[in-house]
């Protein structure tokens, strides 16, 4: 009688994943909120996925902003304030090292809006859903990087002649993603030999559609997550553990053949 095969045997699967990654000419990584969890940034669909009793999908929408911009700004000001206290974690740093290893044959596509990849030192980053550091004027469209400075309850345009209400430069639910960014992300997936999918529940589209796209073009798909997700059956290998531990271990194995 065979002992039950543990589907989540990191010690067995890490070397296998390292072999696949090491031989990949071009690597693309797709990250979600899970890569920032160990930095102390709450994820969306975990137990802490609610905010003041409402779901993110109800607050992060144009209609919510139309109906109650002060409530939506409370939500974003709170997340910006939380970001002042967090740092990139070893998972972010391992992704920086992978960019250094593959150079211009590497692309990082992130769903995250926390800016932690940039803060860690990633340069080749496509931000599908915008960035909490930036504001956009609802009247003149001016986009500004405001870092994490306090913006006030209902911030207005820095062009006094405009004085329009600002919004976060974030893609809300039911809003289109920035055209060029999504096209570049799709190109990065179609052109890669290996897609590393890290810390995403693979529930939000069109981002999640990048995973079956990788499979469709014959790229190897490696999932790094705490648990199986909607993308698990599209992955060749699943590495189940905290990304802040798994990614540095995976990186460490790349130089060993």
Is the Cβ of residue 181 or residue 190 nearer to ligand BV8 in the bound state?
181
Two tokens at 161?
């002649």
Say how many residues touch ligand BV8, by CB under 6 A. 35
| Residue nearest ligand BV8, CB atom distance | 34
| Beta carbon of residue 188, minimum distance to ligand BV8 (angstroms, whole number) | 17
Enumerate residues 6+ apart whose C-beta is below 8 A from 81.
Answer: 148, 150
Is the Cβ of residue 56 or residue 253 nearer to ligand BV8 in the bound state?
56
Active site residues: 129
38 binds ligand BV8 (CB under 6 A): yes
234 binds ligand BV8 (CB under 6 A): no
| Beta carbon of residue 140, minimum distance to ligand BV8 (angstroms, whole number) | 22
Binding region for ligand BV8 (CB under 6 A) out of 33-41, 154-162, 181-189, 211-219: 33-41
Binding region for ligand BV8 (CB under 6 A) out of 11-19, 100-108, 109-117, 248-256: 109-117
Edge-to-edge strands, sheet with 27-31: 125-127, 106-110, 27-31, 194-198, 220-225, 237-240
Tracing tokens 């469209």 back to the chain, one arrives at 141
235 binds ligand BV8 (CB under 6 A): no
111 CA to centre of own chain: 3
* Residue 206: cis peptide before it, omega within 30 degrees of 0: yes
| Beta carbon of residue 223, minimum distance to ligand BV8 (angstroms, whole number) | 9
- Residue choice 201, 211, 220, 251 for contact with ligand BV8 (CB under 6 A): 201
Residue 93: other Cβ atoms inside 10 A = 17
State the Cα–Cα distance between residues 210 and 202, nearest whole angstrom: 9
- Residue choice 77, 156, 173, 209 for contact with ligand BV8 (CB under 6 A): 173
Two tokens at 160?
């006094």
Is the Cβ of residue 122 or residue 200 nearer to ligand BV8 in the bound state?
200
212 binds, among Zn ion, ligand BV8, none (CB under 5 to 8 A by kind): none
| Beta carbon of residue 62, minimum distance to Zn ion (angstroms, whole number) | 18
| Beta carbon of residue 104, minimum distance to ligand BV8 (angstroms, whole number) | 26
């Amino acid at each position: 009688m065979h002992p039950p095969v543990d589907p989540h045997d990191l010690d067995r699967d890490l070397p296998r994943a390292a072999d696949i990654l090491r031989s990949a000419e071009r690597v693309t990584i797709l990250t979600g909120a899970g890569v920032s969890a160990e930095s102390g940034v709450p994820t969306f669909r975990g137990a802490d996925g609610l905010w003041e009793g409402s779901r993110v999908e109800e607050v992060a929408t144009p209609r919510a902003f139309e109906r109650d911009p002060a409530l939506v700004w409370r939500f974003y000001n709170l997340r910006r304030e939380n970001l002042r206290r967090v740092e990139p974690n070893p998972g972010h740093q391992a992704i920086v090292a992978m960019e250094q290893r593959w150079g211009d044959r590497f692309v990082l596509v992130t769903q995250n809006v926390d800016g932690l990849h940039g803060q860690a030192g990633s340069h080749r980053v496509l931000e599908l859903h915008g960035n909490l550091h930036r504001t956009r004027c609802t009247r003149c469209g001016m986009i500004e990087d405001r870092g994490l400075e306090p913006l006030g309850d209902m911030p207005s345009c820095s062009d006094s002649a405009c004085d329009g209400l600002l919004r976060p430069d974030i893609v809300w639910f039911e809003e289109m993603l920035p055209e060029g960014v999504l096209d570049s992300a799709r190109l990065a997936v179609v052109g890669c030999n290996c897609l590393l999918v890290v810390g995403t529940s693979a529930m939000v589209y069109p981002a999640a559609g990048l995973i079956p796209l990788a499979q469709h073009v014959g790229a190897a798909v490696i999932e790094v997550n705490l648990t199986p997700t909607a993308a698990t059956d599209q992955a060749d290998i699943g590495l189940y553990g905290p990304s802040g531990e798994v990614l540095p271990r995976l990186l460490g194995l790349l130089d060993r053949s």
